[in-house]
Amino acid sequence: MRIVVGIKWVPNTQAVRFDPKTGTLIRAGVPSIVNPHDFPAIELALRLKDMYGGEVIAVTMAPPSATQGLEHVLGMGVDKGILLTDRKFAGADTLATSYVIAKGIEKISKEIGPVDVAIFGHETIDSSTAHIGAQVASWLGWPYVYYARDAKLVEDGKLRVTRQTEKAVEEYEVNLPAVVATAIKALKPRPVRLSYKLRAKIEKPIIAWNIEDLGLDPRCTGLKGSPTVVANITWMPEVPRKKIVYTPKDPRDAARWILKQLFSDESVAGFLKKALWGEE
């Protein structure tokens, strides 16, 4: 099997701070990481390779600094990394991003060998849209399934994908090629291994493709190829709250204080009475 896995090199949102005066992100000194939600996708890709052979190719559209992210996943056992990089890809929304990734997958199919499945994480921690899987499927004309927890090949060459929704565990048999997006924390990723890291150091299996390599029209990529535009950014309006804070003498005092507040608060008192005694 030839499996493509999409990854994103993202700023670690847990470490991001805001400048309270300007409201802008302080990115300086914020370390980047491989998007945590991509790891189940990487793990699923590697498991498929373990079972059926073939190769796993990680793809990312990013500035050259994302090479570090590709090196990290090569250390997990991914065979090749493809960096889709060009200044003309900058400022892309999800449509323009998925377009470049889909064109990258087409180029892999043509020049390296046909891709059987493209796997993505559920969403990224820096923009949380969960768009890319469906959009890549739309560009490629492939069937797709979200929230996957596992996948295996079945007899007629189809991929049997298991997923869980709010209501059921579902299994689909999907014709290949297909797009699969994994659920958050669906699979525990394997650790980086020194031998893989060394192999990557020696073989240098990272290829960079720019807009000319992909043969794309600059009107279709980056900011120009993005239908959505950020018109403005503001602070989120605060929800009005009472903000009464009490430091109690002891736990009993705390409990009685809470109950006093709630039973003298019209918006909840009636409700609590109903909960306790079944009537208002």
Partner 1 sequence: MKVNCEKLCPDWPCEQPDEFKDIWVVMETDEHGISEASLQMLTPAKKIQSKKPEEKIVAVLIGYNIKQYAEIPIKHGADKVIVVDDERLKTYYPRVYGQVIVDLAKKYKPAVILVSATMKGREMGPYIANTLRTGITADCTDFDVDEKTGDVLMIRPPFAAIMLAYIKTPFRRPQMGTARPNVFPVPPYDESRTGEIIEEKLETIMDPGMQLVNYVPVKKEEVLIEKAEIIVSVGKGIGSMDGVKLAEKLASLLGGVVAGSRKAVDAGFVDPERQVGQTGKSVKPVLYFAIGISGAAQHMLGVREAGRIVAINIDPEAPIFKQSDYGVVGDYRPILEALIEELQQLKEKGPEAIEELLKE
Query: Shortest approach of partner 1 to residue 103 CB, angstroms?
Result: 11
Among the listed residues 234, 119, 231, 128, the one whose alpha carbon sits nearest the alpha carbon of residue 186: 119
Query: Shortest approach of partner 1 to residue 158 CB, angstroms?
Result: 8
- How far apart, in Å, are the Cα atoms of 204 and each of 71, 259, 275? 9, 65, 65
- How far apart, in Å, are the Cα atoms of 275 and each of 105, 267, 269, 272? 57, 14, 10, 5
Q: Closer to partner 1 by CB, 191 or 279: give it.
A: 279
Query: Shortest approach of partner 1 to residue 121 CB, angstroms?
Result: 12
| Owner of token pair 């297909």 | 178
Query: Shortest approach of partner 1 to residue 64 CB, angstroms?
Result: 22
Residue 52 — φ and ψ, nearest 5°? -120, 0
| Region of 115 on the Ramachandran plot (φ > 0 left; ψ -120 to 50 alpha; else beta) | beta
Query: Shortest approach of partner 1 to residue 41 CB, angstroms?
Result: 16
Q: Closer to partner 1 by CB, 198 or 262: give it.
A: 262
Q: Closer to partner 1 by CB, 66 or 102: give it.
A: 102
Q: Closer to partner 1 by CB, 53 or 266: give it.
A: 266
- How many residues can be counted in the chain? 280
Distance CA 56, CA 168 (A): 30
Q: Closer to partner 1 by CB, 204 or 273: give it.
A: 273
The first and second tokens of residue 133, run together, are 């899987």
